[in-house]
Amino acid sequence: MTDTPSPAAAGLGTFERWLSVWVALAIGAGLLLGNLFPGLFSALAGLEIASVNLPVAVLIWAMVYPMMVGVDFGAVKQVGDKPKGLVITLVVNWLVKPFTMAALGVLFFEYLFAGLIPPDDAQAYLAGVILLGAAPCTAMVFVWSNLTRGDATYTLVQVSVNDVVMIFAFAPIVAFLLGVTDIVVPWDTLLLSVGLYVLLPLLAGYLTRNALIRKNGAAAVDDFKSRVQPFSIFGLLVTVVLLFGFQGEVILERPLVIALIAIPLLIQTYGIFFVAYGAARVWGVPFNVAAPCALIGTSNFFELAVAVAISLFGLGSGAALATVVGVLVEVPVMLSLVAFANRTQHWFPKEKGTS
């Protein structure tokens, strides 16, 4: 496999470099609008069917669907090629990350922050960070891989296998961790969320991808993704506006909450990266595989986490707020880790045929 990042992936770089700015502006807009028009946001919060908020469901699909079109399940057949990077990705994503995030959440929200956050709020924030920890990245990792000149085909294999595992593992892991922390989990809502925000978008993406390839060849996939990408960006930013609009009064009254939620998320993000990156170095994984495999485990599928938090706990919940704080924290942190990886690529062997 060689480093062949797609034009679509490369074209996202400029926006992603400024994503934290756009998210910050969306947060500010949400806080302002939520305080100016509380009735409007209450009406939007009431548009629910089976615990699913309809406006947010549409926005989440706008975010997730373009990503799923890029997932090539044919790549799963290459699972045996260069297994080391894939092993690290799967072990970190499913055996390490969810459980360390839950442990950090319990440590901070139930003990270290016990005097700063009311117990009910602490449980809600804990649920939110657990959802983030159990939702490994699907789409943003193509950006991080491109910025480290990672092996694009291998990254696709990792993401495709990861998505297959997510269909079966996300709900049981979330239910187990929330149960361990004594948070009641409505299984029907959780399974509905996984079906609505993982299984169905994957199926829609698969059918769209196949139709595009049959009609115009593989290049049509990148062209389609580039055309629908603005809808994904729009969905993300409007979702953030809505979430912070619902939380506006609470956040303005307690701005310290954002900083407190960010602390365990920062520790988790840097910690997971160095676990995976260190394992790749010890195991002699080439840099163009090592960097993406570490970044996949570090980044989060925050769209899924946000959607499930809303379905399980409500739009105005602390769990939903915690998942959105994860968006704000993740982007600048991931860019710092990309820079670190690029500076330390000499630690790794070069794959034959790479420059």
The helix-helix angle for 19-36 and 318-343 (nearest 10°) equals: 160
- CA distances to 16, 164, 184, 216, 228 from 222, rounded to whole Å, are 17, 22, 42, 11, 10
Q: What is the largest CA-CA distance in the chain?
A: 61
User: Is 354 a member of any domain?
Assistant: no
263-320 pLDDT, tens per residue? 999 999 999 999 999 999 999 999 988 998 899 888 887 777 877 888 788 877 889 8
212-225 pLDDT, tens per residue? 888 888 778 878 87
User: Is 310 a member of any domain?
Assistant: yes
User: Which of 231, 217, 314, 280 shows the shortest CA–CA distance to 58?
Assistant: 231
For residue 264, what are the domain limits? Answer: 7-347
User: Is 2 a member of any domain?
Assistant: no
User: Is 251 a member of any domain?
Assistant: yes
User: Is 98 a member of any domain?
Assistant: yes
CATH number for the domain spanning 231: value is 1.20.1530.20
User: Is 1 a member of any domain?
Assistant: no
φ, ψ of residue 215 to 5 degrees: the values are -85, -45
Inter-residue contact 132 to 302 (CB < 8 Å)? yes
pTM of the complete model: 0.75
User: Is 100 a member of any domain?
Assistant: yes
Inter-residue contact 255 to 86 (CB < 8 Å)? no
Inter-residue contact 293 to 89 (CB < 8 Å)? yes
pLDDT value of position 284: 93
How far apart CA 27 and CA 253 sit, in angstroms, is 15
Inter-residue contact 269 to 298 (CB < 8 Å)? yes
Predicted confidence (pLDDT) at residue 340 exceeds the cutoff of 70: yes
Measure CA 97 to chain center. Answer: 13
Count of domains for the chain: 1
User: Is 328 a member of any domain?
Assistant: yes
Inter-residue contact 194 to 167 (CB < 8 Å)? yes
